[in-house]
Amino acid sequence: MKNQNQSELLITGVGITSAIGQGKAAFTPALMQGQHAFRVMQRPGRQKDTSFIGAEIPSLSYPERFSKRVLRTASFSGQVAMVTLQEAWDEANLAAVDPSRIGLVIGGSNLQQRDLIQTYENYKDRAHLVRPTYGISFMDSDLCGLCTEQFGIRGFAYTVGGASASGQVAILQAIQAVQTGQVDICIAMGALMDLTYWECQALRSLGAMGTDRYADEPAMACRPFDKNRDGFIYGESCGAVVIERADFAMSRQIKPYAILSGWAVAMDGNRNPNPSYEGEVQVIRRALKQGNLSPQEIDYINPHGTGSTIGDEIEIKAIQDCQLSHAYINATKSITGHGLSAAGTVEIIATLIQMKESRLHPTRNLEDPINSSFNWVRGQSVPHDIKHALSLSMGFGGINTAICLQNAK
């Protein structure tokens, strides 16, 4: 590990749960091989005379520390949050840290929709029998309660909403908390947004989620940056990263994944779901400037890349006009699906894994790129030693975020 500036901010632990694997040991080879789990979704509450395609987590493995009572009363989003945090917690050796100096920021809002609609349907004719824990669990803050109780976190914990940029917004808030000394360590989590058929239908009607065009070929449906893209495809996922200063990590002899070198957020001043070229250009330039980086120094980009018919075109134009088209680029969502609130954190983790592996994952279904002049990673993984990476996230309501990562090797 190179000598670290003691005030540098590092990522020292990660946790990942997705449809292609729970934990880095399962997620990493699946990512590099371009494995997928796309099919017509089966989870209760996801369909009502519909056939929405998505990628669902096949099963969860629970650490023994979580009691059956806690798991029984937690929503699916809560269960996934706890198991994901466990991996990041252990890797960063947070058990050795004063719990009053640890904070938690959970990215996402309206996270537990499927749990809510199932409660409504199960108790619609007997509301007086609804379980008392519903008075807690219907709020997103219940994820904070679950995690702080199970892990003994005593600093602070709160949720932040940024639509599909929520995962990166959580990281930006965690950075600020460590920078200002609120805590010594802050965990940023992009939580699992548990959709129902209501949200799926509304997102499809907006023109954001894919249609039934690939109903008979679910594996072909998710195709960011391809000319035949048809909208985003949902993918269950959750990611957590541990952020701290270099001196604090060195005191515990923790080897970091990467240095957080630049970051930014920019608003479009627009309530609607349509993306903004100006907003995306602005956030990229701000992040590079804050990190004292030239465009030429960025050698890998992990884009928002949803498969949106409009969004992909605008993002590629923004990247090109920021003089970044030389950098390698792939689309993590082509493999994992779009985790919505989790996406920004999951894609930072995918970037960190590629840094560690010195290898870039493929982009599934990128058969006819919308701009062939880019340095795409297409059907096969390729070796590459990332030095400086740029990760982008955008959310409904005009939210644009960007984070630059420097390899800590």
Burial of 111 (0-12, 13-18, 19+ CB in 10 A): buried
Residue range 286-328, pLDDT digits in tens? 999 999 999 999 999 999 999 999 999 999 999 999 999 999 9
Mean pLDDT score of the chain: 95
Residue range 217-236, pLDDT digits in tens? 999 999 999 999 999 999 99
pLDDT computed for residue 1 by the predictor:
45
CA-nearest of 128, 248, 228 to 179 is 248
Tell me the mean pLDDT in the region 96-116: 96
What does DSSP assign to residue 298? -
CA-nearest of 381, 379, 376 to 354 is 381
pLDDT band at 408 (very low <50, low <70, confident <90, very high): very high
- Tell me: pLDDT of 64 over 90: no
35: tokens are: 């494995």
Collapsing DSSP to helix, strand or coil, 280 comes out as helix
Phi and psi (nearest 5°) for 186? -130, 130
Give the chain's domains with CATH numbers.
9-251 (3.40.47.10), 261-404 (3.40.47.10)
pLDDT computed for residue 405 by the predictor:
98
The whole-angstrom separation of Cα 231 and Cα 307 is: 5
173: tokens are: 């808030």
Residue range 248-276, pLDDT digits in tens? 999 999 999 999 999 999 999 999 889 99
Query: Is 405 within 8 Å of 259 (Cβ atoms)?
Result: yes
Residue range 9-27, pLDDT digits in tens? 999 999 999 999 999 999 9
DSSP bridge partners of 360: 382
Please, how many CA atoms are within 13 Å of residue 1, restricted to the half-sphere of its CB?
16
DSSP state letters, 234-261: EE-EEEEEEEEEHHHHHHTTPPPSEEEE
The whole-angstrom separation of Cα 331 and Cα 368 is: 14
Tell me the mean pLDDT in the region 354-371: 98
The whole-angstrom separation of Cα 143 and Cα 166 is: 15
DSSP state letters, 131-196: -TTHHHHTSTHHHHHHHHHHHT--SEEEEE--GGGHHHHHHHHHHHHHHTTS-SEEEEEE------
The whole-angstrom separation of Cα 299 and Cα 20 is: 26
The whole-angstrom separation of Cα 233 and Cα 409 is: 35
Residue range 128-182, pLDDT digits in tens? 888 888 888 888 999 999 999 999 999 999 999 999 999 999 999 999 999 999 9
Residues 6 or more apart whose Cβ sits within 8 Å of residue 264:
283, 284, 286, 287, 290, 401, 402
